[in-house]
Chains A and B, each alone.
Chain A
Amino acid sequence: MKKIYLPIYLFIALMSGISAKVISYDLYVAEQKISPTGKAVKALTVNGGIPAPTLRFREGDIARITVHNNLKTEETSTHWHGLLLPNQYDGVPYLTTKPIKPGMSHTFEFKLRHSGTYWYHSHTGLQEQRGVYGSIVVTPMGGEKVKTNRDHVVVLSDWTNENPWSVMKNLMRGSEVYAIKKGNAQSIYGAKKAGKLKEYFAREKSRMAPMDVSDVYYDQFWVNGKQTYEPEAKNGETVRLRFINAGASTYFYLSSSIGDLKIVSADGVDVVPVNVPKILIGMAETYDVVVKVPASGKYEIRATAQDGSGHASVFLGSGKLQPASDPPKPNLYTMDEMLEGAMASMGDMSAKEAKASLHKSRPPAPYAILKSPKSTELPKNLPVREVELRLTGDMTRYIWSFNGKTLNEDSKIVVKKGERVRFKLINDTMMHHPLHLHGHFFRLLNGQGAYSPLKHTVDVPPMGRRTIEFEANEEKDWFFHCHLLYHMDAGMARVVSYAEQGEDHEPTYDPKLKNMKMWMVDGSIQSHMTMGMAMLMKGREDYYAMWEYGWYDHEEYEVDFGWKHYFSPNWSSLAGYRLTNEHGAENRFFAGVQYRLPYLIYSTLAVDSEANFRLNLEKEFQLTSRLGLGAEAQYDTNPDLEENFEWGVSANYFLNGAFSLTGGYDSAHGWGGGLQFRF
Chain B
Amino acid sequence: MKNIIITTTAVFALLISSCATSGTGNVSGAKPYTSDKCIVTDNKLGSMGDPVTKVYNGQEVKFCCAPCVKKFDANPEKYLSKLN
Chain A interface (Cβ < 8 Å from any Cβ of B): 202-203, 205-208, 334-336, 339, 342-343, 346, 390, 392, 426-430, 463, 465, 595, 597-598, 603, 605, 613, 615, 635, 637, 639, 644
Contacts and interface: CB of A to CB of B under 8 A. Distances in A.
B68 A339 contact: yes
B48 interface: yes
A202 B65 CA distance: 10
A652 B64 CA distance: 33
Contacts of B29: none
A639 B1 contact: yes
Contact of A598 (B8, B50, B52, B64): B50
B1 A637 contact: yes
B35 interface: no
Given A208-B48, A597-B15, 15 more contacts: A206-B65, A208-B65, A334-B67, A336-B67, A339-B67, A343-B71, A346-B42, A426-B42, A427-B43, A463-B41, A463-B43, A598-B22, A598-B50, A615-B12, A637-B5
A637 B42 contact: no
A637 B44 contact: no
Contacts of A343: 41, 71
Interface of B: 1, 4-5, 8-9, 11-12, 15-16, 19, 22-23, 41-44, 47-50, 52, 64-68, 71
Contact of A206 (B16, B43, B50, B68): B50
A615 B22 CA distance: 22
Interface of A is mostly: mixed
Nearest to A464: B41
B13 to A, nearest CB: 9
A385 to B, nearest CB: 21
Given A428-B44, A597-B15, A613-B9, A206 B49 contact: yes
Given A426-B43, A603-B12, A463 B19 contact: no
A595 B16 contact: yes
A637 B8 contact: yes
Contacts of A639: 1
Contacts of B48: 208, 335, 430, 463
Contacts of B49: 203, 206-208
* Residue from B19, B48, B52, B66 having most chain A Cβ neighbours under 10 A: B48
Nearest to A598: B19
A205 B18 CA distance: 13
**Which 5 A-B pairs have CB atoms at the shortest separation, nearest pair first?**
A208-B49, A206-B49, A428-B47, A206-B50, A637-B4
17 contacts: A202-B66, A203-B49, A206-B65, A206-B66, A207-B50, A208-B50, A208-B65, A335-B48, A339-B65, A392-B47, A426-B42, A426-B43, A463-B65, A598-B19, A613-B5, A613-B9, A615-B11
B42 to A, nearest CB: 6
Contacts of A392: 44, 47
A335 B40 CA distance: 14
Nearest to B11: A615
Contacts of B71: 339, 343
B43 A613 contact: no
A637 B23 CA distance: 32
Contacts of B41: 339, 342-343, 346, 463
Contacts of A595: 16
Nearest to A204: B49
Contacts of A644: 4
Contacts of B4: 637, 644
* Residue from A343, A429, A463 having most chain B Cβ neighbours under 10 A: A463
* Residue from A206, A429, A430 having most chain B Cβ neighbours under 10 A: A206
Contact of B43 (A202, A336, A428, A597): A428
B21 to A, nearest CB: 12
A598 B49 CA distance: 10
B50 A465 contact: no
A430 B67 CA distance: 13
Nearest to A601: B15
A429 B16 CA distance: 25
B44 A390 contact: yes
B49 to A, nearest CB: 3
B62 to A, nearest CB: 13
B25 to A, nearest CB: 14
A597 B19 contact: yes
Nearest to B12: A605
A597 B20 CA distance: 9
A637 B4 CA distance: 6
A35 to B, nearest CB: 42
A370 B68 CA distance: 28
A334 B48 CA distance: 13
A635 B8 contact: yes
Contact of A463 (B1, B50, B64): B64
Contacts of A429: 47
Given A202-B66, A339-B67, A429-B47, A465 B15 contact: no
